[in-house]
């Protein structure tokens, strides 16, 4: 078993400056059990202990089993608080973010895969949108050449109503924008610099370095 008390006077290897006033002296503890479970516990801190969950939301922790790369937030995510990935507690060298960058990069690659999947689905379903105008055009032809003049106006109304309804239904069924929004909302909260927590740009991912705090892989 391995245990860290985290705080301005904690036993963690990386320093937490006194200026980080939202962090208590002994803020939280992290225990790694012999069977490899990571247990985060709040030590009655003044401003609370949180994690960022898989939906990218801040979630308060009293006692919780987390995983190695869970983002922990002490107090809040401002400069007065402190945020880091649980793994950082194990780094001998506090400036070493290689493992953490590797993890965030993995998340990033998964996100790109997921985005490609949503894009492909959108492209496939986009073809259905041609159906209503095609039906409309066919009906137009039938109405013009085959129907007797006294029935034609009704035919036009029926066609109009039918194709409009069909357009609405197809647009609703094929619209993935909600899925895309959910995706963006979730990943924008997870694809962050392991050190300072700033969202990383594509260039920063490519360079594996955060321009804001200079943390690098």
Residues of this chain that interact with Zn ion (CB under 5 A) are: 193, 195-196, 210, 212-213, 215
Instruction: Provide, rounded to whole angstroms, the least separation between the CB of residue 217 and Zn ion.
Output: 12
- In angstroms, the CA 202 to CA 55 distance is 21
* Complex with Zn ion: residue 105 or 213, whichever CB lies closer: 213
Q: Are 27 and 48 in contact (CB under 8 A)?
A: no
* Complex with Zn ion: residue 71 or 195, whichever CB lies closer: 195
Instruction: Provide, rounded to whole angstroms, the least separation between the CB of residue 117 and Zn ion.
Output: 29
- In angstroms, the CA 91 to CA 99 distance is 9
* Complex with Zn ion: residue 42 or 100, whichever CB lies closer: 100
Which among 7, 190, 191, 12 is positioned nearest to 81, based on CA atoms? 7
Instruction: Provide, rounded to whole angstroms, the least separation between the CB of residue 61 and Zn ion.
Output: 23
Decide: helix, strand or coil at residue 192.
strand
Name the maximum alpha-carbon separation found in the chain: 91
* Complex with Zn ion: residue 107 or 196, whichever CB lies closer: 196
Instruction: Provide, rounded to whole angstroms, the least separation between the CB of residue 51 and Zn ion.
Output: 19
């Amino acid at each position: 078993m391995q245990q860290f008390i985290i705080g301005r006077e904690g036993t963690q290897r990386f320093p937490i400056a006194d200026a980080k006033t939202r962090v208590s002296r002994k803020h939280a503890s992290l225990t790694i059990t012999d069977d490899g479970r990571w247990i985060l516990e709040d030590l009655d801190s003044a401003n609370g202990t949180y994690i960022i969950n898989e939906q990218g939301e801040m979630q308060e922790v009293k006692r919780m089993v987390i995983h190695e790369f869970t983002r922990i937030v002490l107090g809040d995510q401002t400069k007065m608080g402190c945020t880091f990935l649980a793994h950082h507690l194990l780094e001998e060298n506090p400036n070493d973010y290689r493992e953490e960058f590797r993890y965030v990069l993995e998340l990033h690659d998964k996100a790109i895969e997921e985005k490609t999947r949503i894009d492909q689905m959108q492209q496939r379903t986009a073809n259905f949108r041609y159906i209503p105008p095609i039906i409309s055009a066919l009906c137009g032809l039938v109405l013009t050449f085959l129907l007797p003049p006294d029935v034609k106006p009704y035919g036009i109304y029926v066609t109009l109503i039918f194709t409009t309804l069909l357009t609405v239904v197809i647009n609703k069924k094929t619209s993935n924008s909600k899925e895309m929004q959910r995706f963006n909302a979730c990943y924008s909260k997870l694809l962050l610099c392991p050190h300072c927590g700033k969202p990383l740009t594509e260039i920063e991912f490519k360079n594996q370095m955060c321009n804001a705090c200079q943390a690098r892989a």
